[in-house]
């Protein structure tokens, strides 16, 4: 496992996908913890396991399936990444984001990313959906940006802009879709931390102070890479638990809880994604 990925490695991975499907996807959809079953909605799918694709990082986390599902949803050709690799599993940062470069090489120009996240904003309740409007890349700020290393000019510039990384028109569309389906949707800033330990009360106090509304262990590296390549991006967090510095005594956060609340959110998230895809 190298620290950085090469253009050739991305080409090899993209060629493996191309040889296994006749679809030409234009929209990429990344499904986070507990949200994998959304891929069941894909019509006439071609299914490719991660093990069939060279250089593709495997996910070892329960709740992450490890397959690409390519097919039709709401009339659009979608490539679904069912399960993702995380930094805490031991992958170098550059490997985690290889799938996004592969998607771009296959023709994907819009990326929809979902995740499970802890709700830092006191107004958030487990079961809420949150449109990501901006992020805090805690690892990136501290030196582990996925673009660290030689820049691949074929994808984008050395110093990409990150203002409005989460495409305003797609955020608006997501809000309108929630209204049309009669459910509330939050909007906020997602803080990316490495994990796998959940945050201490002091860390949550810190994140709240610097403007985070939600916290999680994924998504942001993918968004940086997608933005670098000029893709349109929509990020949706499922708020699976309260992430507050003063929890009720006796409440302890577990991954099982994250997965269970994730399941409850699926019908709304499905309606949201279908509505967005229809109009995109
Ligand atoms: N913290 C970090 N990641 C998470 C959380 C959390 O509280 N919930 C789901 N993913």
**By CB neighbour count within 10 A (0-12 exposed, 13-18 middle, 19+ buried), where does 37 fall?**
middle
pLDDT score of 32: 81
SS (H, E, C) 231-248: CEEEEEEEEEEECCCCCC
> Span 140-155, mean pLDDT?
93
- Report whether residue 199 contacts ligand 1, using a CB cutoff of 6 Å: yes
Residue minimizing CA distance to atom 6 of ligand 1? 118
Pair type for strands 67-73 and 214-216: unpaired
**Ligand 1 centroid to residue 253 C-alpha, Å:** 9
Distance CA 49, CA 66 (A): 6
CATH, range 7-239+249-279: 3.40.50.1580
Does ligand 1 lie within 6 Å of residue 216's CB atom?
Answer: yes
Q: Residue of the nearest CA to atom 9 in ligand 1? A: 117
pLDDT over 60 at 238, yes or no: yes
Q: Which residues are catalytic?
A: 33, 64, 86, 88-89, 116, 217-218, 241, 255
Of 132-136, 222-226, 251-255, minimum mean pLDDT range: 251-255
Strand partners, 31: 82
At 38 the pLDDT is 79
Summarised one tens digit per residue, pLDDT across range 76-102 is: 999 999 888 999 999 999 899 999 999
> What per-residue confidence (pLDDT) applies to 63?
53
pLDDT, the chain, mean: 91
pTM, entire model: 0.93
Distance, in Å, from the CA atom of 231 to the CA atom of 31, rounded to the nearest integer, reads 18
Query: Given phi > 0 = left and psi -120 to 50 = alpha, else beta, which region is 63?
Result: left
Q: Residue 254: its pLDDT value, please? A: 73
Q: What separation in Å is there between the alpha carbon of 93 and the centre of ligand 1?
A: 19
What are 86's two structure tokens?
Answer: 């995380």
Which residue, judged by its Cα, is nearest atom 10 of ligand 1?
117
Residue from 102, 48, 55, 96 nearest 70 by CA: 48
Which residue's alpha carbon is nearest to atom 5 within ligand 1?
118
Q: What is the CA radius of gyration of the chain?
A: 18
CA-CA distance, 63 to 83, in Å (whole number)? 7
pLDDT at 145 over 90: yes
Coil, strand, or helix at residue 182? coil
What is the pLDDT confidence band of residue 130, given thresholds at 50, 70 and 90? very high
pLDDT higher than 90, residue 35 = no
| Cα 97 to Cα 105: distance, rounded to the nearest angstrom | 13
In this predicted structure, what is the pLDDT of residue 256? 74
Does any ligand 1 atom lie closer than 6 A to the CB of residue 241? yes
Share of the chain above pLDDT 70, in %: 96
């Amino acid at each position: 496992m190298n620290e950085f990925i090469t253009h050739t490695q991305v080409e090899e991975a993209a060629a493996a996908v191309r040889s296994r499907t006749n679809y030409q996807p234009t929209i990429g959809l990344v499904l986070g913890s507990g949200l994998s079953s959304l891929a069941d909605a894909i019509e006439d799918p071609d299914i490719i396991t991660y093990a069939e694709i060279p250089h593709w990082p495997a996910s070892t986390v329960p709740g992450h399936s490890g397959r690409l599902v390519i097919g039709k949803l709401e009339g659009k050709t979608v490539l679904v990444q069912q399960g993702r690799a995380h930094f805490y599993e031991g992958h170098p940062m550059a490997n985690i984001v290889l799938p996004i470069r592969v998607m771009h090489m296959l023709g994907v120009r819009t990326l929809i990313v979902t995740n499970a996240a802890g709700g830092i904003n006191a107004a958030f309740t487990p079961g809420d959906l949150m449109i990501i409007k901006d992020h805090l890349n805690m690892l990136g700020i501290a030196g582990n940006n996925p673009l660290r290393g030689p820049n691949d000019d074929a994808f984008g510039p050395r110093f990409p802009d990150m203002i409005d990384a989460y495409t305003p028109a797609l955020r608006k569309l997501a809000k309108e879709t929630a209204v049309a389906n009669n459910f509330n949707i939050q909007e906020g800033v997602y803080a990316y931390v490495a994990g796998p330990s959940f945050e201490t009360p002091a860390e949550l106090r810190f994140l709240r102070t610097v403007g985070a509304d939600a916290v999680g262990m994924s998504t942001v590296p993918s968004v940086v890479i997608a933005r670098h390549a000029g893709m349109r991006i929509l990020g949706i967090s499922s708020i699976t638990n309260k992430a507050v510095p003063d929890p009720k005594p006796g409440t302890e956060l577990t991954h099982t809880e994250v997965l269970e609340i994730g399941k409850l959110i699926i019908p709304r998230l499905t309606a949201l994604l279908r509505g967005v895809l229809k109009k995109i």
